Amino acid sequence: MINLRILGCSGGIGGNARTTSMLLDNDVLIDAGTGVGELSLAELSMIDHVFVTHSHLDHIACIPFLVDSVGLMRDKPLTVHATEATLEIIRQHIFNWKIWPDFAQIPSASEPFMRYHAIQLGQTVDMDGRKITVLPAEHVVPAVGFQVDSGASSLVFSGDTTTNDALWEVVNRIPNLRYLIIETAFCNAEKELAVRSKHLCPSMLAEELLKLKLNPEIYITHLKPGEVEVTMQEIGECVHGFTPMMLQNGQVFEF
């Protein structure tokens, strides 16, 4: 059985809002937004892998702090899994000695605190029986989603995405789909901004869910602080045939 704990699921910060991060069992992160800061130092030291959907700061902000905080406590590198396009952005713009030291070279290139592993669309990575499959996403930077499969059932995380027929083609072929976590970043009044930034709003989410042929539990992530109530109300009004719920910090999925 897999245990997936939501560390952060907001589209911003403030109050109790934490940006996107999920802890799989005790050793794998899916994205590493500000929610990672909820973990103790001991918990941080146990993380061996980070699977990254895309390079935006709200999804990677804590990778630099994570590797810096626990590098000396570990006996093997932290592995960052992402597409080559995303890894290249992270290498060039984060771990470049200007924004942050290059921990793929610290303390040495032969024994670094962090290493990169390129993954590809459609690829499945087997993490001791926990299968993580790379799903298509459509965003303003190269992006993916993930399917996490325990064998008994699956959870799909859309990552940041807009209208995306390719995602539903894959999702509808997952016979053991139990949970769907999908973003809705903006309310309907900001649909133009959602389209330009390649996110979803409630009316667009409703159109996307018409393409879903399965019946998983659906949870909404990436809600903007200050717009949570109106966006969830609009989702309730726009979406028919499903009852999406708001994803919560601290929520745990066992499957």
> Which pLDDT score is estimated for 216?
98
Residue 79 pLDDT class (50, 70, 90 cuts): very high
Give the tens place of pLDDT for each residue, 123-137: 999 999 999 999 999
Work out the mean pLDDT of the chain and round it to a whole number. 97
Neighbours of 145 (CB within 10 A): 27
| Percentage of residues of the chain with pLDDT beyond 70 | 100
> Which pLDDT score is estimated for 152?
97
Give the tens place of pLDDT for each residue, 156-214: 999 999 999 999 999 999 999 999 999 999 999 999 999 999 999 999 999 999 999 99
Numbers of helices and strands, H then E, in the chain: 8, 14
Stretch 40-68: mean pLDDT: 98
> Which pLDDT score is estimated for 30?
98
In the chain, which ranges are continuous DSSP H helix?
Answer: 41-45, 57-60, 63-70, 84-93, 165-171, 191-197, 202-209, 228-238
Stretch 40-56: mean pLDDT: 98
> Which pLDDT score is estimated for 119?
98
**From start to end of 77-211, where are the E strands?**
78-82, 114-118, 124-127, 130-136, 144-149, 154-157, 177-183
Domains of the chain: 3-254 (3.60.15.10)
